[in-house]
Amino acid sequence: MKRFNYILRCAWSVIFMLLTTVYANAQTDNALLQSMDSVEIGLLTCGPGEEVYSLYGHTAIRYHDKGRDQDLAINYGIFSFKQKFFILRFVFGLTDYEMGIIPFNAFVDEYQAAGRWITEQKLNLTREEKWAITQAIDENYRPENRVYRYNYFYDNCTTRARDMITDHIQGSVVYAVDTQTSATYRSMIRQWTASHPWASFGNDLLLGVKADAKTSYTARQFLPDSLMQDFAHAIVIDTHGHRRALVDSTFHILYEPDPDGIMHSSLPMPITCALIFLLIVLIVCAIEWGTKRVWWGFDVLVMTLDGLAGLILFLMIFSKHPAVSLNFQILALCPLSLFFVYPTVKRLRNKQIHTYLPFWGALLLLFFVLGYWQSYAEGMFIVALSLLIRITWLYYSCKKIYKTTK
């Protein structure tokens, strides 16, 4: 009997300790949740800069704890040009970005100095959602979790900020889908490079046919402005079916600068350069018509430059960047030109045609046909036409004109 009483007392002691621990934890959790009343979380959308990598704007999260006097900016767009083999890693889509946390005032000062605007959307979140986001930020900021493999369309500073918020909302986020929109990745990018023609040209040259496919609605949120617009009209439906707006209020922290004060490039447009190239080709062909001589030095230059450009497009096949592997512009900017320069020019000096030239001409014709499915870089049709004119002229002159003048 004494043994039974002893066991019973021990059991009650354990139960009491467990209940006390649970109660203490519940009190602690309740206190932590109550502390979230002083926390405000907002989505920060920043305007474009003048550097190529900043043309599309930026997204960050503001974490403002008034109770602890903490005002922080959580930033997923930190990288360094000093990284080992940065350019090579960037070309092959192997660039690593990092999460950073800095004082909000320092964040604003940086963008003010760069003349860029900032808009904040204060989010309408529950205590539990704020606490879940707080814990997720702490976990994400651990040294082993900060670095991530950057992907321009699928995993960037904007999608990371979005997921940090939406993944910790108790319920689902419903966006006001615009069924009239049929945007592609290329068309969305062009909106932000319209005033930077050479940046637009570079993007369009490297992006392949996959960039012209229609995107899903949430896929468009890789751009900061798209996410801001979507959040502005988003609705949260919680687990009980109750609805609330995702954004509580919106206000401007920094305003857009005066457009008159923005510097514009004095470089000629890509289309202008393409037309100049066409004119040069026509002039060279006309001179050859009059002199009955082949300016083979011109073809050395053209084929070398064409092959080098094509080599870049060939390397992009192995890149981890999205939508660059299948690019029909490689038919015009053909890497094979680099390897056929010597045998082609050697035969041209003897006023003969190498088989590579008609083969290249066929590739150029295919380039024009496939242009129905891919939107090419500005001026590329004119460049391809110029090359086709040059090949046709060399074939005709070597077969007809030069043969009769021997």
Provide the domain limits for residue 154.
38-177+217-261
pLDDT above 70: residue 168: yes
Q: Are residues 251 and 296 in the same domain?
A: no
Q: Are residues 277 and 168 in the same domain?
A: no
Q: Are residues 256 and 289 in the same domain?
A: no
Contact at 8 Å (CB) between 380 and 327? no
Q: Are residues 128 and 243 in the same domain?
A: yes
pLDDT above 90: residue 43: yes
Question: What CATH number did the domain enclosing 232 receive?
Answer: 3.90.1720
- Give residue 263's pLDDT band: very low, low, confident or very high (50, 70, 90): low
For range 50-68, the mean pLDDT: 92
pLDDT above 50: residue 268: yes
Contact at 8 Å (CB) between 337 and 311? no
- Domain end point (choices 231, 261, 291): 261
pTM of the model: 0.84
**195 falls within a domain:** no
pLDDT for 11 equals 53
Distance CA 315, CA 340 (A): 19
Q: Are residues 234 and 102 in the same domain?
A: yes
**326 falls within a domain:** yes
**71 falls within a domain:** yes
The one-letter code for the residue type at 343 is P
- Domain end point (choices 236, 261, 286): 261
- Give residue 155's pLDDT band: very low, low, confident or very high (50, 70, 90): very high
264 vs 278: which has the higher pLDDT: 278
Copy the structure tokens of residue 60.
């960050």
Tens of pLDDT along 309-341? 999 999 999 888 888 989 999 999 999 999 999
pLDDT above 90: residue 45: yes
Q: Are residues 48 and 147 in the same domain?
A: yes
Contacts of residue 52, Cβ cutoff 8 Å, sequence gap at least 6 = 196, 199, 202
